[in-house]
Structure 1
């Protein structure tokens, strides 16, 4: 089975959900594809001043995500995102351009700087974002999960912390039939 995960690397909930997805992928024979979802595009570029450097770094990282996807390098995208999350969310540090470049180098991307600086990839990021938003929207954010055989994507699942193995698998086993349902559209509770 294939699952496409649309993400913004600046979002902590998206990071936790990605770790859940990675943890269940091997046990449920899921191939994860990684795609861009831009919170900057979603907000119309109107992030509060304090978040702008982080959002700019995220936008540059998403260029690399789509460049690697165009080259069928999903494993490299996964390694790049893991390196970003380890340097930011696990280290409790804000996302910066320096972290993005170091994560790309750790993931083995030799031409990372030129791609990160290449605004020509912004259109691919926008197309990916719009595809994800159209698949699961309106009123959604990052992440979007599109499961093979599902008519639409879903926003989430949004999790507060990465669950242990049994709970992680139980969540997956619940999400798949909900995502594939033609009639299901929302399940939510306050944080």
Structure 2
């Protein structure tokens, strides 16, 4: 069986992208795939979109982390991006992660809990850089808007296929250079052969040029970002 190339765009602050990213790592254990991790900034993506000022401020708080990923790629190559995503995403979304603690300590939840988490990112990003074996000096990229050009360049790498394509968000995945797909969005992390079967189905859709959209009609479940999450 030949190896499939998976280009995976993520924003580390998104719990749904995190779940899908952990699924694709499970897929790598049971199917021959190679993953290119690519940063995508929800703040940059939504610069011209209508949204509440509160939501925009929260999204903007996450922009700096994506600049650090762009700087890490420039300094240490593509592999460093995946290592940093695992290190930072675990600190964001793990059982004792920043977002879990924010939800537990902010009774009204929602945007308030997200904002509480995003306002305390600097030491979390610094610790993730250390976990990934990357230079601490990369933290300075967080406040350096010259990295925004590299972020937009990463967005531009998403293949559009035969049609014009507007980016929706993360996760965005391209399989073997085919048009980028938003999703799959899953509420927990499939493992083992369950992960493999989901991949087999997704690959068929992701490489079919006629495929456009598939959505479930029920309410979305809460994201279970780590094994055993309630």
TM category, shorter = 0.7 to 0.9
- The CA deviation string for residues 94-129 of structure 1, in whole angstroms up to 9 with x for no partner, is 342221221112111113223333321110101212
* Inter-CA distance 169–157: structure 2 relative to 1 (3 Å threshold): same
Task: Report the secondary structure of 2:93's partner residue.
Answer: coil
Query: How far does the alpha carbon of each residue in 1:109-160 deviate from its partner, in whole angstroms, 9 at most, with x for none?
Result: 113223333321110101212443856843621110011142x010010000
- CA deviation digits over 1:65-90, x for unaligned, max 9? 22333456233211211111211111
The residue aligned with 2:195 is 168
Aligned to 1:14: 17
How far apart are the structure 2 equivalents of 1:14 and 1:132? 16
Cα deviation per residue 1:36-59 (whole Å; 9 max; x = unaligned)? 211112222756526735x34532
Q: Deviations over 1:12-45 (max 9, x none)?
A: 1000000001111232221211112111122227
Which range moved further: 119-128 or 108-117?
108-117
**Larger-gyration structure (1/2):** 2
- Distance (whole Å) between structure 2 residues aligned to residue 139 and residue 146 of structure 1: 12
Structure 1 segment 1-191 matched on structure 2, within 5 A: 1-44=4-47, 46=51, 48-49=53-54, 52-53=57-58, 55-70=59-74, 73-90=77-94, 91=97, 92-93=100-101, 94-95=117-118, 96-110=121-135, 111-132=137-158, 137-138=165-166, 140-150=168-178, 152-190=179-217, 191=220
Normalization by structure 2: what TM-score? 0.73
Bigger shift: 126-135 or 83-92? Answer: 126-135
Q: 1: CA distance between counterparts of 2:167 and 2:79?
A: 30
- How far off its partner does 1:189 sit? 0.7
- Between 125-134 and 156-165, the greater mean CA deviation after superposition: 125-134
Partner of 1:26, secondary structure, is helix
Q: Name stretches of at least 5 consecutive residues in structure 1 with no aligned partner.
A: none
Distance 1:47 1:6 in 2: 25
Per the normalisation by structure 1, the TM-score is 0.86
For structure 2, the residue ranges without an aligned partner over 5 or more in a row are: 102-116, 221-230
How many residues end up aligned between the 2 structures?
Answer: 189
